[in-house]
Amino acid sequence: MRTSQPEPTAQSRSIISPNDLHRASVRLTLGTSRVLILASLLLASLGPFVWLFKASISTTQDTIRHPYGWFPSGTRWDNLSTAWHQVDVSRYILNSAVMTIGEIAVSLVVTVTLAYALAILRPAWGPIVYGAVLATLFIPVAVAMVPLFMTISDLPLLHTSLVSSYWSVWLPAGANAFNVLIMKRFMDDFPREILEAASVDGAGPLRTLWHVVLPLAKPMVVVEAVLVMMAAWKDYLWPSLALQEPDMQPISVALPRVAENAELSVQMAAMFIALVIPLLVFLVFHRQLLRGASLSGALKG
Amino acid sequence: MLTDALQATATGEPAAAVRRAPARRRRWHGWTTAIVLALPGLAVFGLFSWWPMIRSGIMAFQETNLIGGGSWVGLRNFAYVLHDPALPQAVRNTLWFALLGLVLGFPIPIALAVFISEQRGWRSTFSVLAYLPAVIPPVVAILLWRVFYDPSPEGALNALLRQVGLGPYSWLNSTSLAMPAVVMEVIWATAGSTTVVYLGALSRVGGELYEAAEIDGCGIWKRIWHVTLPQMRGFILVLLLLQLIGTLQVFTEPFLLTGGGPANSTTTVLMLIYNYAFVYGNFGAAAALSAMLMAVLTLVAALYLAATRRWSRS
């Protein structure tokens, strides 16, 4: 099946040409700058990861006295299990997982249905709704924090409070204009002939959505799921306001409290555990994530 | 309907006339389905995006608590905020943060992206490496940097700087160094994701432009200056605006790194809003300051877009 990917075409050439590469001075400069930048990237990007891992299996004294020492008092793998069991990191990780899965589900339902309505069904009122959604892109998120908190404390019409319920993080996560935008743009490019054909075969809009559009949209669904997952795992300010019960808090919100109460070695172990999951997700899905990240640029440009 | 038929004839599709009648029924059918399908989105955006924005405008003129409606107090919330002695300091700190972020942080991703895009075969390794800090949950990164900024001479960063004969510095405990230290953490955490955006922009620059520049005798640096940067101009301008808007709303990093101290030297406008609402329970004042911040941000964006539009036209 043909899907039209908005992927940039393969580059034929870039700034430096094969001709330049014949010159020794160019090759030398390129080579040394490559080594230098690789070294500084390794130091700046990978260094803190390695240091955190080392600190998470060192004693507190070693980390404070000899930040760059090679385990003067030996390794302490039990820091990790202490963090996991005694300061409840296992519970917070589970909470983060619950929060993340719910956010992915709500986001995907909202995004796919709204994008399908706007891009494929194209009702007359579509552009108005689309404009109102896009307008929220330019509204500073943080400025909306206080009224949003008031809204979930006393929901309009229903007059119930969502505070200290996971719905208070799941539902607002669905109102993400960027996700709607990239999904709608993706569906805009679907070949109309296939949709027409489905229609001629007697498939209604819902069957078309399920059997034709969703399979075509799968690559973008994966991109969005990964983006939402990473964002949910990173979120701090909103869940710290909406989930005030310590037992419900995700790892990001709980970590500063753990940091205040546990000794440094256990704190480092807890931080390392909190980092492993997004790191693994990134290493598995880095293609999708980097594509999502550069898509955000495509819309800005 | 007419345009459909025109399109059909234009694409040489013969069945258009035959299919006209069912198409009308389908369209009506689709109209109601479209509403039903858009409903989850409309509900979520309405409740958690559009309504809070409207509400913040209302709340700024009210005295409110969490439950029930508020009473109108006119401009009293605004007067309260404007007379708060903490406001000028918070505004100064926020502007200082934005300026430092711009001067120190803005050029790095551009340079990095131009460099990485030239690494044939190594591009994805370099981009993954550059993006890595953006993967760390911000809270973990912030707590980690708080340890790096240990003010004792054995502290991780001080120990490193001692090797080149600098320091020791008291970092987050110093009123003059605390803000630059916060900015450094933010740059470290965000440069990678911006680099990836620029890389996306660079991959769209047509090779024939470089070809032409080379034939005209431009060296490598001249090609970067006369082809690459002008081609990235749209991205650079928009990311500059986004960074400005983002830095004027900075919260989590100073909140967790310094708690606004020492001596309020890192308290930002958004932390003030947070304190009004969630420490003092003064939601009206928080809404008034939010409204003012939003007005400023909108003004910045509008002026910026107007200025750059004129500039890119000339």
pLDDT at residue number B3: 34
Query: Residue ranges of chain B with pLDDT lower than 70?
Result: 1-30, 65-69, 311-314
Instruction: Give the closest-approach CA distance of B303 to chain A in angstroms.
Output: 14
Shortest distance between the Cα of B33 and any Cα of chain A, in A, equals 7
**pLDDT value for B30:** 59
Mark yes or no for CB contact B129/A42 under 8 Å.
yes
B195, closest residue in chain A (CA to CA)? A294
Find the length of chain B.
314
For A234-259, what is each residue's pLDDT tens digit? 889 999 999 988 999 999 999 998 88
Q: Are B49 and A175 within 8 A, CB to CB? A: yes
pLDDT tens per residue, range B152-176: 888 888 888 888 888 788 889 888 8
Would you say residue A2 has pLDDT above 60? no
pTM assigned to the model? 0.84
Q: Is the dihedral of CA B102, B107, B112, B118 positive or negative?
A: positive
Of A297 and B102, the structure prediction assigns the larger pLDDT to B102
Mutation target vs A (from B13, B26, B56; most A CBs, 10 A cutoff): B56
Confidence label for A180 from pLDDT (cuts 50, 70 and 90): very high
Cα–Cα distance measured from residue A181 to residue B277, given in angstroms and rounded to the nearest whole number: 32
Which residues of chain B make contact with A184, given a CB cutoff of 8 A? none
What are the domain boundaries of chain B?
Answer: 2-43, 76-313
Q: Residue with structure tokens 């420490």?
A: B279
The answer, yes or no, to whether residue A295 has pLDDT greater than 80, is no
> What class, spelled out in words, does domain B76-313 have in CATH?
mainly alpha
A147 CB within 8 Å of a chain B CB: yes
How many CB atoms neighbour CB B18 within 10 A? Answer: 9
B238 touches chain A (CB under 8 A): yes
Contact B133 A45 (CB under 8 A): yes
Domains of chain A, CATH where assigned: 101-300 (1.10.3720.10)
- Phi, then psi, of A28 in degrees rounded to 5: -65, -50
CB pairs < 8 Å spanning A and B: 306
Neighbours of A126 (CB within 10 A): 17
ipTM of the modeled complex: 0.84
Output the pLDDT for position A282: 86
For chain B positions 48-77, those within 8 Å of chain A (CB to CB) are 48-53, 55-56, 59, 64, 66-68
Model confidence over A190-236: pLDDT tens digits? 888 888 888 788 878 888 888 888 999 998 898 899 889 988 988 89
Contact across the interface for A110 and B41, Cβ inside 8 Å: yes
pLDDT score of B69: 64
Share of chain A above pLDDT 90, in %: 26
pLDDT at B24: 47
- Round the average pLDDT of chain A to a whole number and report it: 84
Q: Is A18 on the interface with B (CB under 8 A)?
A: no
**Rounded CA gap, A288 and A267, in Å?**
32
Q: Answer with the residue of higher pLDDT: A275 or B65.
A: A275
Closest by CA to B104, choosing from B41, B220, B182, B22, is B182
The answer to whether A172 contacts chain B (CB < 8 Å) is yes
Smallest Cβ–Cβ distance between B287 and the set A146, A180, A271 belongs to: A146
* The pLDDT of residue A76 is above 90: no
A11 has a pLDDT exceeding 70: no
* Closest CA in chain B for residue A31: B119
> Which residue of A45, A109, A153 to mutate against B (max B Cβ within 10 Å)?
A45
Distance separating alpha carbons of residues A25 and A56, to the nearest angstrom: 45
B151 backbone dihedrals φ, ψ, rounded to 5°: -75, -10
Q: What is residue A296's predicted lDDT score, i.e. its pLDDT?
A: 62
| Mean pLDDT, residues A154-176 taken together | 86
Across the interface, which of A11, A67, A171 has its CB nearest the CB of B207? A11
Location of structure tokens 């769209």? B204
The secondary structure of chain A in percent helix, strand, coil, rounded to multiples of 5, reads 75, 0, 25
Spatial distance between the Cα atoms of A283 and A287, rounded to a whole number of angstroms: 9
Chain B partners within 8 Å of A23 (Cβ)? none
Q: Which pLDDT belongs to residue B56? A: 83
Q: Which residues of B touch A150 (CB under 8 A)?
A: 52, 55, 59, 64, 66, 283
Going by pLDDT thresholds of 50, 70 and 90, the confidence category of residue A297 is low
- Cβ neighbours of B207 in A, within 8 Å: 11-14
Give chain A's count of helices (H) and strands (E). 16, 0
The H or E element that residue B71 is part of is strand B71-72
Q: Which positions in chain A touch B45 (Cβ < 8 Å)? A: 132-133, 136, 175
Q: Which chain B positions have a beta carbon within 8 Å of A20's beta carbon?
A: 220
Measured CA to CA in angstroms, residue A94 lies from A17, A88, A187, A252, A280 at distances of 52, 10, 34, 12, 16
Among B66, B135, B147, beta carbon nearest to A279: B135
Within chain A, what is the greatest distance between any pair of CA atoms?
Answer: 74
Selection from B285, B270, B283 nearest residue A153 by Cα: B283
Contact between chains at B238 and A259 (C-beta distance less than 8 A):
no
What's the alpha-carbon Rg for chain A, to the nearest Å? 24
Give the integer Cα–Cα distance in Å for A9 and A18: 20
